Structure 1
Amino acid sequence: MASIIFLLLLTLSLTASAQKQTNITRGSLLTPLANSSWLSPSGLYAFGFFRQRRGLFIGVFISGISQKTVVWSARRNGDPVPSNATLLFTRDGIVLQSAQGEETLISTQPASLAAISDSGNFVLYNSASQIIWQSFDSPTDTLLPTQQLKAGTELFSPVSETDLSTGIFRLKMQNDGNLVQYPVNTPDTAPYAYFATDTGGAGDNVTLNFDPDGHLYLLNNTTGLNIRNITGGGYPTKETITMMKLDADGIFRLYSQNLTQNGNWSVAWSSTSDKCSPKGLCGLNGYCVMNDQKAECICLPGFEFVDQGNKTSGCERDFDAGSRKDTMVELSNTDWEDDPYSVLSLTAKDDCKQACLEDGNCEAALFTDEKDCSKQGLPLRFGRRNLQSSNLAFIKVGRHISTTDRKEPVIEEKNPGTGRKIRIISGSFVACGLAMVAIFGMIIYRYHVLAYKRVSGNDSTELNEHLGASY
């Protein structure tokens, strides 16, 4: 009961003054083990140390709920913070100091005052109380109510729920007014997009806005016009908190949580219900398959996962490309990025398959619309199963050449039955020969024994006769 009353008071405090903040003066410090964060006035948000799978990091997180949730990370791709480090607010800004006295700047702006507000914004002020930097202008993977995604800025997905370093997807508020999702390291062009609001040309001063009631919309700040509603909003603000997050799977979602129930986050809206929609979810040479509302990654035939624990790492060959006997394996109902080095006009799929098999540079071929055969090199990207597609993919696969295969060739017998008879007859001749040798050996042996006895008998008679004559 006491916790519910506390949460109600917390919510009323947030509603009454969402911009209240805790001021942090120069000389203030934090350590991971004691006094590890600076809290906003309501205690809902905090700036300081938090722990993830890779170790200790620094950022803003929602602290006043049972499930601590990180909403902004400083140096998200940097090394973990040592457990004996100290975070200082100095005239140079926010400084991380090691036990050996080495210093690393967390903020590059010298400031006179810092603050963490009840909106979750961490702010640095100059001596004239003007904002010189704020976390709301440098989002990582999350937007909070009252926060904007400005033209030219992006959100980047995390690697996973427990590793908040930069993942493989991005959401960009483009300078042309279009809000678009892409894989990382791709151009901002239509072939690489997998979600868009189709508002290109709406102006160069469009922002993604987020109201406390969960209303996401695009606003032209030059004209003041709302050009596109993304979510309808209308969620209660007195007992509910919301956030928008670009998740590790490439989908951005609106989450809500009822503070009075002390529960978990629930998904109020998502950019797509197709979890295989994000391009590149399964990495290079892998493709995505929906199985019971879950996205699963499968490797191309003849390939295996680079990292079994991380399916987005993609797939690599499980055979030696230089020592193999090639065959072609067919994959149906799959879509891939079409980036050919040669396109043939062929109407038969077997002709397309054979054309790739006979081409030493061809590793795969895409047969589309029963007329185009696109020869591809590796890697293949952006694979997904599409049951509505009639496209075929032919993958060149090599058979392992074992040490047995490398032995001297053996001439095959065309008639195994004849060979068996020859071996039986040959064996019989050998057996008979050995038997005859044994018989001849016995005869010769007996002959020599008898001859020896006759000679011995004759010698004895002559000797007796000689002795008798002597007496």
Structure 2
Amino acid sequence: MAIPSIFFISFLLLPVHLASGKVTVNSTLSTNDHNSSWFSSSGEFAFGFRPINNNTSLLLLAIWLAKIPDETIIWNADISNPLSSGSQVQLTPKGLSLTNPQGQVIWTAEQQDNVFYGEMLDTGNFVLASSDSSYLWQSFNYPTDTLLPTQTLDLTSKLSSRLTQSNYTKGRFELYFDNGNLYLSQIGWPTESRYAKYFSVNTNSNVSASKLVFDSSGNVYVETKGGSQIGLGWDDSGLDVSTYYYRATLDYYGVFTFYSHPRASRSHQVWSIVRFVPSNICTAILSDLGSGCCGYNSYCVWNKTRPTCMCPEGYSLVNPDDEFGGCKPNISLGCGSDDARSRENPEDVYDMKPLQSVNWPLGDYERLINYSEDECRESCLHDCNCAVVIYNTARDCWKKRLPLSNGRLSATDEGGTTALLKVRTRPRDY
């Protein structure tokens, strides 16, 4: 009987936040202690500092799934830059206070009433509670890019995608409510201005939405003020929250995706895509403003569940590590070229390369009617503003200048459309 007694006494001596998931006031976490986190009672979720891509010098104050191999981040504090070593977060009687190595407060979750304790719940929600255990603040009310089962998104809240796969700064896409309807829009990053909507869940004129619900069974729907449910256009059947973790994330390329992951942890397991909206983001986004799903001067190819961004011939990625960051001409084009030969005899310098079924459908600056393909090609060659022309069987010739936006590869030929891309074939004369 001695061993169980010693074990029981040792358990009683554990800090409160380790024994029950609750965190006492004045508890502190520091980036200098990489094993310091506040866990939920089951150990499934953790609150603390997480390195970005295993870079221990760049950290986030975050919540993550602690029992799966990649420890997926599902929430992070809204700060503009990653944290460095020496930062710390403290639970005070007023709430959470995050300070940088110089002791400056850079993020808070402060409350008017005194905070009695904090707790990392097994739902993935971190809460600050009063003496009667009512919630004064909860991370579920301030989501970043992800919703979890039992979480709701109210009319004043939104999801913001991260900027890139490894950059957790607010990115180029938002999921939000407006006039009682749920929308996805591209935004004019880094501002908050929204471009044209590319997905919507519309309620009727008599009953508007009250919130987006991710219920405890894993179903996701818009609930109206009258209590009815409107789906997102995907099938919520066959879900099992006892066997799988689920999350709904606005990915950094603008797709709102429902993921699943087995709860039984094995090293080879990964998140699986269950469903998503819109059905094809390459063609869903069509706006006079913004680059589209992929960056400028690229084109988007839909691969059943995910977009791929491609650079046309003569172009390369602006950032080799960011597929969605756009493309740049390998050699300068346009009227500012200092190569006299390109202005006087462009045929000696450029060629017009065909690219079937690719289009940048907006941003034309000139339309030439009843032109042959050869005439269309010649017109672009002799126009220093022209980077590409779109020619179709109706004998229309659409001229475009850089940067090119909303590029996409169509599964069909869109009426015999051919992109003729101006590509430099001769090195610049020096």
Tell me the TM-score range normalised by the shorter chain. 0.7 to 0.9
Q: Distance in 1 between matches of 2:101 and 2:402?
A: 48
- Give the paired residue count: 379
Query: What code does the residue aligned with 2:314 have?
Result: G
Moved more, 121-130 or 59-68: 121-130
Q: Which residue of 2 aligns with 1:304?
A: 316
Could you say what secondary structure the match of 1:139 adopts?
Answer: coil
Does residue 145 of structure 2 align to residue 119 of structure 1?
A: no
Q: Which residue of 1 aligns with 2:407?
A: 383
Question: Aligned-residue CA RMSD in angstroms?
Answer: 3.2
Moved more, 34-43 or 81-90: 34-43
What does 1:230-245 correspond to in 2, within 5 Å?
Answer: 230-245=234-249
TM-fit CA distance, 1:145: 0.5
Change (3 A) 1:333 1:142: same
Q: Which residue of 2 aligns with 1:40?
A: 40
TM-fit CA distance, 1:351: 3.1
Does residue 196 of structure 2 align to residue 189 of structure 1?
A: yes
Q: Which residue of 1 aligns with 2:52?
A: 52
Q: Distance in 1 between matches of 2:406 and 2:204?
A: 24
Q: Deviations over 1:118-140 (max 9, x none)?
A: 22112335678654432222211
Q: Distance in 1 between matches of 2:301 and 2:241?
A: 38
TM-fit CA distance, 1:60: 1.2
Q: Deviations over 1:193-212 (max 9, x none)?
A: 2x444557575434221122
TM-fit CA distance, 1:346: 2.8
Change (3 A) 1:60 1:80: same
What does 1:227-306 correspond to in 2, within 5 Å?
Answer: 227-228=230-231, 230-260=234-264, 262=266, 263-271=269-277, 276=282, 279=285, 280-289=292-301, 295-306=307-318
Q: Deviations over 1:432-470 (max 9, x none)?
A: xxxxxxxxxxxxxxxxxxxxxxxxxxxxxxxxxxxxxxx
Does residue 58 of structure 2 align to residue 67 of structure 1?
A: no
Change (3 A) 1:203 1:340: farther
TM-fit CA distance, 1:369: 6.0
Query: What code does the residue aligned with 1:219 have?
Result: E
TM-fit CA distance, 1:141: 1.3
Moved more, 132-141 or 230-239: 230-239
Q: Which residue of 2 aligns with 1:366?
A: 390
Query: What code does the residue aligned with 1:51 have?
Result: P
Structure number having the greater strand percentage: 2
Change (3 A) 1:88 1:174: same
Moved more, 318-327 or 179-188: 179-188
Q: Distance in 1 between matches of 2:99 and 2:303?
A: 49
Query: What code does the residue aligned with 1:251 have?
Result: V
Report percent identity of matched pairs: 30
TM-fit CA distance, 1:309: 2.3
Could you say what secondary structure the match of 1:355 adopts?
Answer: helix
Contact 1:75–1:106 (CA<8 Å) still a contact in 2? no
Does residue 338 of structure 2 align to residue 335 of structure 1?
A: no
Contact 2:98–2:105 (CA<8 Å) still a contact in 1? yes
Does residue 178 of structure 2 align to residue 174 of structure 1?
A: yes
TM-score of the pair, normalised by structure 1 = 0.70
Q: Deviations over 1:49-103 (max 9, x none)?
A: 1121252110111123343111001135x33323233211224432223454333
Contact 1:215–1:234 (CA<8 Å) still a contact in 2? no
Could you say what secondary structure the match of 2:59 adopts?
Answer: strand
Query: What code does the residue aligned with 1:73 have?
Result: N
Could you say what secondary structure the match of 1:311 adopts?
Answer: coil
TM-score of the pair, normalised by structure 2 = 0.76
Unpaired segments of 5 or more residues in structure 1? Answer: 1-20, 407-471
Q: Which residue of 2 aligns with 1:392?
A: 418
TM-fit CA distance, 1:291: 7.0
TM-fit CA distance, 1:109: 4.3
Q: Distance in 2 between matches of 1:309 and 1:127?
A: 49
Change (3 A) 1:385 1:122: same
Query: What code does the residue aligned with 1:56 have?
Result: L
Could you say what secondary structure the match of 2:247 adopts?
Answer: strand
Could you say what secondary structure the match of 1:64 adopts?
Answer: coil
Contact 1:153–1:174 (CA<8 Å) still a contact in 2? no
Change (3 A) 1:197 1:381: same
Structure number having the greater helix percentage: 1
Moved more, 271-280 or 332-341: 271-280
Which residue, out of 88, 92, 115, partners 1:86? Answer: 88
Q: Which residue of 2 aligns with 1:24?
A: 23
Q: Distance in 1 between matches of 2:352 and 2:241?
A: 59
Q: Distance in 2 between matches of 1:124 and 1:50?
A: 21
Q: Deviations over 1:218-263 (max 9, x none)?
A: 211x111112353324422333321112223433222223324654
TM-fit CA distance, 1:331: 2.2
Could you say what secondary structure the match of 2:324 adopts?
Answer: helix
Q: Which residue of 2 aligns with 1:211?
A: 215
Q: Deviations over 1:340-365 (max 9, x none)?
A: 23333335333333333343433333
Q: Distance in 1 between matches of 2:310 and 2:67?
A: 41
Query: What code does the residue aligned with 1:298 have?
Result: M
Q: Which residue of 2 aligns with 1:320?
A: 332
Q: Distance in 2 between matches of 1:291 and 1:339?
A: 26
Moved more, 356-365 or 138-147: 356-365
